[in-house]
Structure 1
Amino acid sequence: MPTAVLENYINGEFVASTATETLDLINPVDESVVGRAPISNEADVKAAVDAAQRAFESWSRTTPNERQKALLKLADAIDAHTDELVEAQCRNTGQPKSVIAAEEIAVSADQVRFFAGAARIVEGKSAGEYMEGFTSYVRREPIGIVGQVTPWNYPFMMAIWKIGPALAAGNTIVLKPSDTTPESTLVLARLTKGILPDGVFNVVLGNGGTGAALVGHPALGLVSITGSVRAGIAVAVSAAQQLKRAHLELGGKAPAVVFADADIAKAASGIAEAAFFNGGQDCTAATRVLVHESIHDQLVDALVEKSKTLQPGLPDDPDSFYGPLNNINHFTEVTKKVGAIPAHATIVTGGKRARDKGFFFEPTIITGVEQKDDIVQEETFGPVLTVQPFTDEAQAIEYANDVRFGLASSVWTKDHATAERLTRALDFGCVWINCHIPLVAEMPHGGFKYSGYGKDLSAYGVEDYTRLKHVMSSHD
């Protein structure tokens, strides 16, 4: 039986792409072909943008109350279709189904409800007379048509992080999901039918060329991407050429700084889970342990023991902590990076393929690394954790900040003063204390340096999808 070709979602309907070229969707668990997606072209992108443009005039004029009601209905629909969303995503990612349900679908429904509430708190400052005879106030307005590109590590949740604040602020959307993981996004699109007006949310499938066509469309007011540094730079360059806004959530190389007074068992457990969750395919994952030299060996032993309980496995296996890496190219890249570590470094556990079939990789811990090593400096985006000793607080801060990324970090200590000093010194968008990786909808997520700019989640995330207008009226 021939494999079905997926369709774009434009103006409230699923429509076939005008392009003839397709790409295979590969299940990373068994490497089977589970579908085909079109490599949409400029004509498809234009149709989607035209639909969003037509819908913007009416959607942008809806009241916050109306947008809130729509988002609350969407959250209920997500909850009601959890099983379908889990199956669709699992075909593309191979993640444990229980993890998808609990950590993506349920969390995403909650985040949509947050953005439903946030739609009603977008406001300007009060009016005032800043010049005699004139009154001024500020309008906060939607930007317009937003182009969004989502990654393959958390396909559904990243779509929600994109569309939630954009819709709450009154924008319309054209979204391109990752070429390897489009199916849960298409289910989401179908769920919006009858909840959002036609044309408010559109999905165009394809590869990097499709994304470039979307990002380069002149009608967009903002482009937003969660992805690699390389892709983010390309989006920023394209946006700059048309002076449109860019919102970039890119890579990370998060340090976990463990001081001598830390609870070793708690630190090892929390760091290992944060390192290997979702196979390390998380830009906030703990990737670099910086530990005081006096407890280095103890912590390494504890990390290795914990890693034995955090093994990759099949989607329906209740003992699976994470699934396969997403695709063969990424699996090959992670394998090469681990295989290329310098002679002075040691793989104390893991370091190789975990199963005969599929893109599974063992939880890996590497010691003896030096600050200049590529495995320390560059994002691996796999289940790989390096461990380095430090002698004092100043060296810990130096090592932690000496990477080009600035997304997330954590500090492990029982001393309040130490923790507070580190929260200021660490050059990262998030600093966790005695934990690593929990996120809440109410707090902003986003980084510094090569981790990009702009915030996801929180009221700040909604503000990123608005523009400010000064209105001034004469009293005469």
Structure 2
Amino acid sequence: MTTALRRLRNYIDGEFRDAADGRTTEVVNPATGEAYATAPLSAAADVDAAMAAAEAAFPAWRDLIPAERQKVLLKIADRFEERAEELIAAESENCGKPIALVRSEEIPPMVDQIRFFAGAARMLEGRASGEYMEGFTSIIRREPVGVCAQVAPWNYPMMMAVWKFAPALAAGNTVVIKPSDTTPASTVLIADIIGSVLDELGHSRGVFNVICGDRETGRLMVEHKVPAMASITGSVRAGMQVAESAAKDLKRVHLELGGKAPVVVFEDTDIPKAVEDISVAGYFNAGQDCTAATRVLVQESIHDEFVAALAKAASETKTGAVDDEDVLYGPLNNANQLRQVKGFIERLPAHAKIEAGGEQVGDKGYFFAPTVVSGLKQDDEIIQHEVFGPVITVQSFSDEKQAVEWANGVEYALASSVWTKDHARAMRMSKTLDFGCVWINTHIPLVAEMPHGGFKKSGYGKDLSAYGFDDYTRIKHVMTSLDG
């Protein structure tokens, strides 16, 4: 007997719709490897309809006073809490994530982030008005940019949707967002939540639209004439393609791309505490996090002790079923990602040593064992390129100068961490590490008030914080003659 697949649909101008041409793709639960739903494979007609809805809704949403937009966002946050179990179930099925961890680690920060941007809506800042030319007063207006085309990734589809729509809506923009083709379920549910709130409070539901589809759908969104801004969280390749497409009509671009976070551990660190925290930060979400602590550099005097402790921690880390409260992470997101992680392990150079893991787990779904690889050199493939899996590499460095050189010696520059009891050293490292975030004696915590974003091939623009809010605004100078 074949189980009927659930039908997911686009959300355009307050209505759930199939793709105009009826095409669909199957959506697979990565914990089982089996399809559980179909989603629209949206094409040009669907993108046109979503953009038209967002464009029509923009003037009224833009002209709302900030307190009214705040009211909408606060209601959305409340509704996220009220419907939390639905969101948890959708995201767990989307990604194979452990239910308990989605409940504890994703719902609370998402709600907090929406409420933060609800407050930011009322904190539009600019330089003080004043007279900079005799007889004239200048003022600054900060305005929304317009319709925003947003593409979210598959590693945190629900939370990344929040990172995109919350600042955009708070600033007065309207949104068309596309989830990854492998993880559309939670974003479609978010559309139902936001649409119901907009309806209840008497606003156009065209303010927020969701279209499902693949890379071609995303390309059509970015190249469409309506959006004033394109925002993507994804791979470096995808970011480059978006930037190139957006350049044709000079759209604003917001890019949060890959990462290869160095974790620099000095000999004076508390080894048991560092190992405990680093293993969690490296394996959480199956290492599918651009900031994951997966590239460890350890001072040579403690290298062997640290590797042994890290391998032991890996052997004690569990991956498994969504309802098992003892697991730290679930499967890799899709079959392609499993092949990518396996490929890195299969291509390891002869001088590398697998200290723990290194293999697929089970015969169902896309689970991969927590892995530690030592003996690596700076120019090895697995050091230079993002694995995006539960694989922690370890290199041995001699001194601070070499640690900085190797830490910075990759094309990514999103996040990093330093582990030491020496305050002066920590301050020097925070200055010289070329990354958008430097954690000291911790790795991976994020708060709504602080920015998240990188340099180099990790992209540009900030998520979260007032800086992330500013990215969704434009600045206008208004000058008035005092002569009347």
Question: Shared fold by TM > 0.5?
Answer: yes
The Cα of 1:5 is off from its aligned counterpart by: 2.8
CA distance in 2, matches of 1:328, 1:242: 36
CA contact 2:195–2:208 (8 Å) conserved in 1:
no
CA distance in 2, matches of 1:147, 1:103: 27
CA contact 1:257–1:396 (8 Å) conserved in 2:
yes
Q: How does 1:252-263 map to 2 (within 5 A)?
A: 252-263=259-270
Given candidates 146, 152, 160, the residue that maps to 1:158 is: 160
CA contact 1:19–1:38 (8 Å) conserved in 2:
no
Cross-structure match for 1:454: 461
Given candidates 231, 240, 249, the residue that maps to 1:233 is: 240
CA contact 2:139–2:478 (8 Å) conserved in 1:
yes
Cross-structure match for 1:56: 58
The Cα of 1:309 is off from its aligned counterpart by: 2.7
CA distance in 2, matches of 1:10, 1:411: 46
The Cα of 1:437 is off from its aligned counterpart by: 0.2
1:299 aligns with 2:306: yes
Q: 298-307 or 135-144: which moved more?
A: 298-307
CA distance in 2, matches of 1:409, 1:19: 46
Q: Deviations over 1:430-451 (max 9, x none)?
A: 0000000000000000000000
CA distance in 1, matches of 2:69, 2:395: 49
The Cα of 1:6 is off from its aligned counterpart by: 1.5
The Cα of 1:102 is off from its aligned counterpart by: 1.4
Given candidates 44, 49, 56, the residue that maps to 2:46 is: 44
3-state SS in 1 of match to 2:206: coil
Cross-structure match for 2:172: 170
Given candidates 334, 341, 345, the residue that maps to 1:334 is: 341
3-state SS in 1 of match to 2:417: strand
The Cα of 1:17 is off from its aligned counterpart by: 1.3
CA distance in 2, matches of 1:283, 1:19: 35
User: Given residue 430 of structure 2, which amino acid in structure 1 is its aligned partner?
Assistant: T
Cross-structure match for 2:70: 68
Unpaired segments of 5 or more residues in structure 1? Answer: none
Q: Deviations over 1:271-291 (max 9, x none)?
A: 111100000000000111111
Cross-structure match for 1:85: 87
With the length of structure 1 as denominator, give the TM-score of the two structures.
0.99
User: Given residue 51 of structure 2, which amino acid in structure 1 is its aligned partner?
Assistant: V
Given candidates 220, 229, 249, the residue that maps to 1:222 is: 229
1:400 aligns with 2:402: no
CA contact 1:405–1:449 (8 Å) conserved in 2:
yes
User: Given residue 392 of structure 1, which amino acid in structure 2 is its aligned partner?
Assistant: D
3-state SS in 1 of match to 2:182: coil
The Cα of 1:374 is off from its aligned counterpart by: 0.4
1:414 aligns with 2:421: yes
CA contact 1:82–1:105 (8 Å) conserved in 2:
yes
Q: 100-109 or 457-466: which moved more?
A: 100-109
CA contact 1:288–1:387 (8 Å) conserved in 2:
yes
Given candidates 12, 23, 26, the residue that maps to 2:25 is: 23
User: Given residue 209 of structure 1, which amino acid in structure 2 is its aligned partner?
Assistant: E
Q: How does 1:266-285 map to 2 (within 5 A)?
A: 266-285=273-292
Given candidates 165, 186, 189, the residue that maps to 2:188 is: 186
CA distance in 2, matches of 1:457, 1:407: 14
Cross-structure match for 1:444: 451
User: Given residue 46 of structure 2, which amino acid in structure 1 is its aligned partner?
Assistant: D
User: Given residue 29 of structure 2, which amino acid in structure 1 is its aligned partner?
Assistant: N
- How much identity, in percent, do the aligned residues show? 57
CA distance in 2, matches of 1:81, 1:2: 25
3-state SS in 2 of match to 1:195: helix
1:144 aligns with 2:146: yes
Cross-structure match for 1:372: 379
The Cα of 1:92 is off from its aligned counterpart by: 1.5
The Cα of 1:408 is off from its aligned counterpart by: 0.3
Unpaired segments of 5 or more residues in structure 2? Answer: none
The Cα of 1:4 is off from its aligned counterpart by: 3.4
Given candidates 194, 198, 209, the residue that maps to 1:202 is: 209
Q: Deviations over 1:162-183 (max 9, x none)?
A: 0010011000000000001011
Structure 1 consecutive aligned stretches of length 4 or more whose deviation exceeds 6 Å: none
1:358 aligns with 2:360: no
Cross-structure match for 1:313: 320
CA contact 1:401–1:426 (8 Å) conserved in 2:
yes
The Cα of 1:125 is off from its aligned counterpart by: 1.7
Q: Deviations over 1:293-318 (max 9, x none)?
A: 00001111111121123221100001
CA distance in 1, matches of 2:14, 2:316: 45
Q: Deviations over 1:383-423 (max 9, x none)?
A: 01110111100000000000000000000000000000000
CA distance in 2, matches of 1:303, 1:276: 12
The Cα of 1:12 is off from its aligned counterpart by: 1.2
CA distance in 2, matches of 1:105, 1:12: 24
Cross-structure match for 2:122: 120
CA distance in 1, matches of 2:345, 2:143: 48
CA contact 1:105–1:156 (8 Å) conserved in 2:
no
User: Given residue 79 of structure 1, which amino acid in structure 2 is its aligned partner?
Assistant: E
CA distance in 1, matches of 2:223, 2:101: 36
1:8 aligns with 2:15: no
CA distance in 2, matches of 1:310, 1:45: 43
User: Given residue 159 of structure 1, which amino acid in structure 2 is its aligned partner?
Assistant: A
CA distance in 2, matches of 1:398, 1:183: 43
With the length of structure 2 as denominator, give the TM-score of the two structures.
0.97
User: Given residue 139 of structure 1, which amino acid in structure 2 is its aligned partner?
Assistant: R
Q: 418-427 or 87-96: which moved more?
A: 87-96
Q: Deviations over 1:4-35 (max 9, x none)?
A: 33110011111121023211101111111100
Cross-structure match for 1:324: 331
CA contact 2:315–2:356 (8 Å) conserved in 1:
no
Q: 301-310 or 290-299: which moved more?
A: 301-310
The Cα of 1:193 is off from its aligned counterpart by: 2.0
C-alpha RMSD of matched pairs (Å): 0.8
1:94 aligns with 2:86: no
